[in-house]
Amino acid sequence: MVTTLVRLSALVGSRLLDPSGEPIGSVDDMVVWLAEGTYPPVTGALVKMGGSEVFVPSGHLGRLHEGSLALSAERDGFDPFQRRPGEVLLRRDVLGHKLIHIGAHNRPRLVRAADIDLTDIDGTWRVAGIDAARRRWTLHRHSSADEHPFFVDWADLEPFVGHVPTSRLRLRTRRLAQLYPADIADLVEAASPAEGEEILEAVGENEALEADVFEELDQEHQLEMVAKRSDSEVASLLDNMAPDDAADLLSEIDQDRREPILSHMAAGRRQRLASLLGYNPQTAGGLMIPDGVCVPTDATVKEALDRLRADTEGPDTLDTVYLVSTDGKLAGAVRLRELLRADAGDSLDGIAHSDPPRVRSSADVAEVTLAMTDYNLSTLAVVDEGDRIIGVVTVDDVLELLVPDAWRRRAEADAG
The structure's pTM equals 0.80
Per-residue model confidence (pLDDT) at position 167: 54
CB 200 within 8 A of CB 210: yes
Per-residue model confidence (pLDDT) at position 173: 77
Which residue would you say has higher pLDDT here, 290 or 378? 378
Q: How confident is the model at residue 403 (pLDDT cuts 50, 70, 90)?
A: confident
pLDDT at 114 over 80: yes
Q: Is 50 exposed, middle or buried (0-12, 13-18, 19+ CB in 10 A)?
A: exposed
Query: Cα dist. 321→299, 305, 348, 396, 402 in Å?
Result: 11, 9, 10, 18, 26
Per-residue model confidence (pLDDT) at position 408: 63
Lowest mean pLDDT among 68-82, 215-229, 234-248, 336-350: 68-82
DSSP code of residue 283? B
- In tens, the pLDDT along 225-279 reads 999 999 999 999 999 998 888 998 999 999 899 999 999 998 988 888 988 888 8
Residues of the chain above pLDDT 70, percent: 90
Q: Which of 198, 355, 370, 350 shows the shortest CA–CA distance to 284? A: 370
Per-residue model confidence (pLDDT) at position 143: 43
CB 399 within 8 A of CB 391: no
- In tens, the pLDDT along 274-285 reads 888 888 888 999
- In tens, the pLDDT along 366-382 reads 999 999 999 999 999 99
CB 70 within 8 A of CB 63: yes
Q: Which of 369, 371, 362 shows the shortest CA–CA distance to 399? A: 369
Per-residue model confidence (pLDDT) at position 63: 78
pLDDT at 38 over 60: yes
Mean pLDDT over residues 65-90, rounded? Answer: 85
In the chain, what are the domains?
Answer: 1-161 (no CATH), 285-400 (3.10.580.10)
pLDDT at 303 over 90: yes
pLDDT at 140 over 50: no
The chain-wide mean pLDDT, for the chain, equals 87
pLDDT at 199 over 90: yes
Q: How confident is the model at residue 169 (pLDDT cuts 50, 70, 90)?
A: low
Q: Please, what is the end-to-end C-alpha distance for the chain in angstroms?
A: 29
- In tens, the pLDDT along 62-75 reads 878 788 888 887 77
